C-alpha cells in the first residue's frame, strides 16, 4: 500500500492557521493593535473601510523594524517575545504566538511600511496570499504602517460567512475598546469610511472610560481599589440604577490584557446581589494585576481566556473589593444608626413631664337597649325585633355585595369571550372554570381535549409583534407628541446606529433630533409605547441591530417590531388577573401565527388527554 501521509505546503498550513487566528476583521484589528502596543507606540491610528472587509490599516509611531525583521515577521512561528518555553509563563507583552502576521498574509493583500529611528530609509513589503510580491526601501515616517486589504479574497467560503457591515463594525469597535481601555497612556483614533468614530487623547483611566462611553458615564462610576500581596485591583463599577440589559460594558483586564472569565464575572455579580433588577447586568471596568507566573494565557488562540493558579482567592478578593466600594459610596444598603430628626421631641415640650392618659367609661351604656339612656348616646335599636333585623341586615348587605361581585365577574367572563372560540373543541367549555397562572410564567386552562399551557411572555411578544409589524409596514403608527421632550444618552457607536435607523424610526412614529453630545432628544413617540419604557426600547433595538444576522429578505421593520415587542412584553414573574389571562389567550389566538413567538419559540402547548393518561399507566 502506498504512503498517504504528507506534509502540507506552507501556504496551506498558513491558511489553516489563519482559521484559528483570523475569524473575522476584528481578529486582524486585535492582532495589529497589540503589535503596535508592543512596539512602544504613543499614538495609534486605526483606519477601516467597509467594516474591515476592504481595508484595515494600523499606523503607529513605535520603534519600527529593521529590514530583516520586517521580512521575518511574516514567517510562521516568528516572534521576538519567546526564546525558551519558560517565557510562556512570564509574559508581559501582547502578541507572542508568532502566527498572526503569517496567517493574515495568507488570506489577504498586505502592505507593510516600517522605519526605525536611526535609519534614513524604511522598508516597504507587499505580500499577496503568502507570496512576497516586492520588498524595497522607501521614505516613510518612524514607526510602522500595516494595511490589510481584501480579507479572505482567496477563501470565498470564509468571506461569505461574514456578517453585515453593522455587525462586523461592532466587533471591530469592541476590540478597539478593549485595547484602548487597557492603555490610557496611549492616544488612539478610529476612522470608518473616512468618518471619525473615536479620538482618544492620552488620559487617566476614568477619562478614558468617559471618552469612550460618553460624558454621562462619569456620574455612574464607583471607584474600586484594593491592594494585596496576591492581587491589585483598580477600576470602576457602574451604579446599580444604571445597569443594562446587555453585557456591553463589562471589561476585565489581567496585567493590561483583556480577558473573558465567567468565574470573575460571577464574583462581581455576587457583590451586586439584591441591587439589580432581574435580567439586568452591572457595568464594570476592572484592572487586575497579578504575578505573570501565576496565570496561563496560552490556552486559546485569541488569548482572551485565562487560567489562574489560585482562582478561589481571586474570587473572594474581587467580590469583597466591589462590595466594599458599593457600601463605602452609599450605593449598597447599610445599617443606618443616625437618628431621624422627625422623631425628636418638639422644643416646646422639651422640659414638660408626661401626662398619663385618662379614659372615661359610661358603665350604664348598653347598645342593645332602646331606653332613654341608650338614645342619649344615639346608639342601639328601637325594639328587639328591629334590633335582630338590623343585625341580620348587616349580613344581608354582605351577601348582596358578594352576589353583585360574582355577577360582575360572570359578566366580565362572558364579555371576554374568545374571538377564536372555535379553537376549543367544545365551545361549552366552562368559562366559569378560571384559568390559572403557574410560577408567574405559564397560563393553564382546561380544554375539552386536554390542557392548554401558554407561555405568557412569548405569547405577548407574538401579539405585540404582529401589531407593531402591521403599523411599521403600512407606516400607520400614530405619533404622540410629548409635552416635555425626553433626553436619552448613548455612546458614539450607538449614535451611529440610531442615525442609520432614523428614517425607519420616524416611520414607526418616533420624532427626535440628535446632538453632538451623544444625546437623542425625543419630541414624539408611538402612542402604543409607554414613555417610561423608551430607554429600554432603544437599548434593546440597538442590541438587536448589532447582533442581527442579515438574510436576503432582511427587513428592518420586522427587526424593529421584534425588538420593541421583546422590550414591552409581559415579563416572566408578572402576576395577571383572571381577566388579563383570558384577554392574553384570546389575543394570542387572534394572531395569524399564534403557535410561535417572533423568534420561532413555542408560545403555547396543548397536553392532550391521551398524554395525560399515559402518565398514569
Task: Confirm whether 355 is domain-assigned.
Answer: no
Task: Confirm whether 107 is domain-assigned.
Answer: yes
Write out pLDDT tens, residues 295-317: 766 555 555 666 777 778 888 88
Q: What is the pLDDT of residue 476?
A: 60
Please check whether residues 71 and 152 belong to one and the same domain.
yes
The predicted model scores a pTM of 0.67
- Indicate the length of the chain as a whole number: 617
Please check whether residues 405 and 449 belong to one and the same domain.
no
- Of 202, 233, 256, the residue that ends a domain is 202
Please check whether residues 166 and 277 belong to one and the same domain.
no
Please check whether residues 86 and 187 belong to one and the same domain.
yes
Task: Confirm whether 247 is domain-assigned.
Answer: yes
Task: Confirm whether 59 is domain-assigned.
Answer: yes
Res. 385 pLDDT band, cuts 50 70 90? very low
Res. 615 pLDDT band, cuts 50 70 90? confident
Kindly state the average pLDDT of the residues 596-606. 82
Kindly state the average pLDDT of the residues 232-259. 87
Lowest mean pLDDT among 52-61, 265-274, 547-556: 547-556
Identify the CA nearest to 109 among candidates 165, 65, 53: 53
| pLDDT at residue 343 is higher than 70 | no
Task: Confirm whether 359 is domain-assigned.
Answer: no
| pLDDT at residue 263 is higher than 50 | yes
Please check whether residues 370 and 318 belong to one and the same domain.
no
Report CA torsion sign: 143, 149, 154, 156: positive
| pLDDT at residue 541 is higher than 50 | yes
Cβ within 8 Å of residue 576, ≥6 positions away: 437, 443, 456, 570, 584
Please check whether residues 249 and 159 belong to one and the same domain.
no
Res. 43 pLDDT band, cuts 50 70 90? very high
Please check whether residues 406 and 431 belong to one and the same domain.
no
Task: Confirm whether 585 is domain-assigned.
Answer: yes
Cβ within 8 Å of residue 178, ≥6 positions away: 30, 251, 258
Q: What is the pLDDT of residue 188?
A: 94
Distance CA 603, CA 598 (A): 9
Distance CA 412, CA 302 (A): 61
Please check whether residues 151 and 18 belong to one and the same domain.
yes
Domain with residue 282: its CATH number is: 3.30.230.10
Please check whether residues 195 and 211 belong to one and the same domain.
no
Q: What is the pLDDT of residue 515?
A: 66
Please check whether residues 369 and 279 belong to one and the same domain.
no
Q: What is the DSSP letter of 107?
A: S
Please check whether residues 398 and 468 belong to one and the same domain.
no
Cβ within 8 Å of residue 251, ≥6 positions away: 177, 178, 181, 258, 284, 285, 286
Distance CA 282, CA 275 (A): 10
Q: What is the pLDDT of residue 298?
A: 58
Q: What is the pLDDT of residue 591?
A: 85
What domain range includes position 400? Answer: 364-415
- Enter the C-alpha cell of residue 120: 534614513
Task: Confirm whether 471 is domain-assigned.
Answer: yes
| pLDDT at residue 218 is higher than 90 | no
- Of 328, 345, 372, the residue that ends a domain is 328
Lowest mean pLDDT among 199-208, 309-318, 350-359: 350-359
Number of domains in the chain: 4
Q: What is the pLDDT of residue 433?
A: 46
Domain with residue 102: its CATH number is: 3.30.565.10
Average pLDDT value for the chain: 77
Lowest mean pLDDT among 103-112, 418-427, 525-534: 418-427
Write out pLDDT tens, residues 424-469: 444 333 344 467 778 878 888 887 778 888 888 888 888 888 888 8
Please check whether residues 217 and 179 belong to one and the same domain.
no
Cβ neighbours around 373 below 10 Å, total? 14
- Of 202, 229, 245, the residue that ends a domain is 202
Domain with residue 463: its CATH number is: 3.30.1370.100
Amino acid at each position: 500500500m502506498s504512503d498517504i501521509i504528507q506534509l502540507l505546503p506552507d501556504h496551506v498550513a498558513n491558511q489553516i492557521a489563519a482559521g484559528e487566528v483570523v475569524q473575522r476583521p476584528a481578529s486582524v484589528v486585535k492582532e495589529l493593535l497589540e503589535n503596535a502596543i508592543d512596539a512602544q507606540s504613543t499614538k495609534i491610528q486605526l483606519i477601516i473601510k467597509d467594516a474591515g472587509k476592504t481595508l484595515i490599516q494600523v499606523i503607529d509611531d513605535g520603534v519600527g523594524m529593521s529590514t530583516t525583521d520586517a521580512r521575518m515577521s511574516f514567517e510562521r512561528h516568528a516572534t521576538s517575545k519567546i526564546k525558551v518555553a519558560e517565557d510562556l509563563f512570564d509574559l508581559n507583552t501582547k502578541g507572542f504566538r508568532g502566527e498572526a502576521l503569517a496567517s493574515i498574509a495568507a488570506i489577504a493583500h498586505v502592505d507593510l511600511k516600517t522605519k526605525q529611528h536611526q535609519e534614513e530609509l524604511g522598508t516597504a513589503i507587499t505580500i499577496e496570499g503568502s507570496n512576497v510580491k516586492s520588498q524595497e526601501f522607501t521614505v516613510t515616517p518612524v514607526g510602522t504602517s500595516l494595511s490589510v486589504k481584501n480579507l479572505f479574497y482567496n477563501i470565498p467560503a470564509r468571506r461569505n460567512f461574514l456578517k453585515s457591515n453593522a455587525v462586523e463594525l461592532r466587533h471591530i469597535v469592541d476590540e478597539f475598546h478593549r485595547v484602548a481601555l487597557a492603555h490610557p497612556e496611549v492616544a488612539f483614533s478610529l476612522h470608518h469610511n473616512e468618518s471619525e468614530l473615536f479620538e482618544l487623547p492620552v488620559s487617566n483611566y476614568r477619562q478614558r472610560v468617559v471618552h469612550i462611553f460618553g460624558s454621562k458615564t462619569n456620574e455612574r462610576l464607583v471607584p474600586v481599589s484594593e491592594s494585596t500581596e496576591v492581587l491589585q485591583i483598580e477600576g470602576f463599577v457602574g451604579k446599580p440604577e444604571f445597569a443594562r440589559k446587555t453585557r456591553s460594558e463589562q471589561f476585565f483586564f489581567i496585567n493590561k490584557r483583556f480577558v473573558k472569565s465567567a468565574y470573575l464575572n460571577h464574583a462581581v455579580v455576587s457583590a451586586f446581589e439584591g441591587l439589580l433588577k432581574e435580567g439586568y447586568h452591572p457595568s464594570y471596568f476592572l484592572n487586575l494585576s497579578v504575578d505573570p507566573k501565576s496565570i496561563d494565557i496560552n490556552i486559546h488562540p485569541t488569548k482572551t481566556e485565562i487560567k489562574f493558579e489560585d482562582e478561589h482567592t481571586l474570587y473572594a478578593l474581587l467580590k469583597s473589593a466591589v462590595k466594599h466600594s458599593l457600601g463605602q459610596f452609599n450605593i449598597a444598603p447599610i445599617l443606618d444608626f443616625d437618628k431621624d430628626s422627625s422623631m425628636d421631641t418638639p422644643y416646646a415640650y422639651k422640659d414638660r413631664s408626661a401626662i398619663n392618659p385618662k379614659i372615661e367609661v359610661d358603665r350604664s351604656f348598653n347598645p342593645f337597649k332602646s331606653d332613654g339612656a341608650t338614645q342619649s348616646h344615639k346608639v342601639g335599636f328601637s325594639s328587639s325585633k328591629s334590633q335582630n333585623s338590623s343585625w341580620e341586615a348587616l349580613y344581608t348587605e354582605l351577601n348582596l355585595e358578594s352576589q353583585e361581585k360574582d355577577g360582575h365577574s360572570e359578566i366580565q367572563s362572558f364579555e371576554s369571550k374568545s374571538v377564536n372560540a372555535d379553537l376549543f373543541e367544545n365551545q361549552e367549555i366552562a368559562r366559569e372554570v378560571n384559568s390559572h397562572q403557574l410560577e408567574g410564567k405559564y397560563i393553564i386552562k382546561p380544554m375539552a381535549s386536554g390542557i392548554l399551557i401558554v407561555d405568557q411572555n412569548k405569547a405577548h411578544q407574538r401579539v405585540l409583534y404582529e401589531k407593531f409589524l402591521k403599523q411599521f409596514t403600512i407606516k400607520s403608527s400614530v405619533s404622540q407628541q410629548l409635552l416635555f421632550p425626553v433626553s436619552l444618552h448613548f455612546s458614539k457607536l450607538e449614535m451611529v446606529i440610531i442615525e442609520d435607523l432614523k428614517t425607519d424610526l420616524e416611520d414607526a412614529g418616533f420624532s427626535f433630533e440628535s446632538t453632538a453630545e451623544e444625546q437623542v432628544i425625543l419630541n414624539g413617540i408611538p402612542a402604543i409605547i409607554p414613555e417610561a419604557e423608551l430607554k429600554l426600547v432603544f437599548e434593546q433595538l440597538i442590541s438587536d441591530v448589532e447582533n442581527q444576522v442579515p438574510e436576503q429578505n432582511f427587513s428592518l421593520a420586522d427587526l424593529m417590531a421584534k425588538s420593541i415587542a421583546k422590550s414591552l412584553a409581559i415579563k416572566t414573574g408578572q402576576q395577571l388577573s383572571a381577566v388579563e389571562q383570558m384577554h392574553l389567550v384570546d389575543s394570542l389566538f387572534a394572531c395569524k401565527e399564534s403557535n410561535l413567538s417572533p423568534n420561532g419559540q413555542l408560545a403555547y402547548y396543548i397536553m392532550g388527554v391521551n398524554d395525560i393518561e399515559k402518565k398514569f399507566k
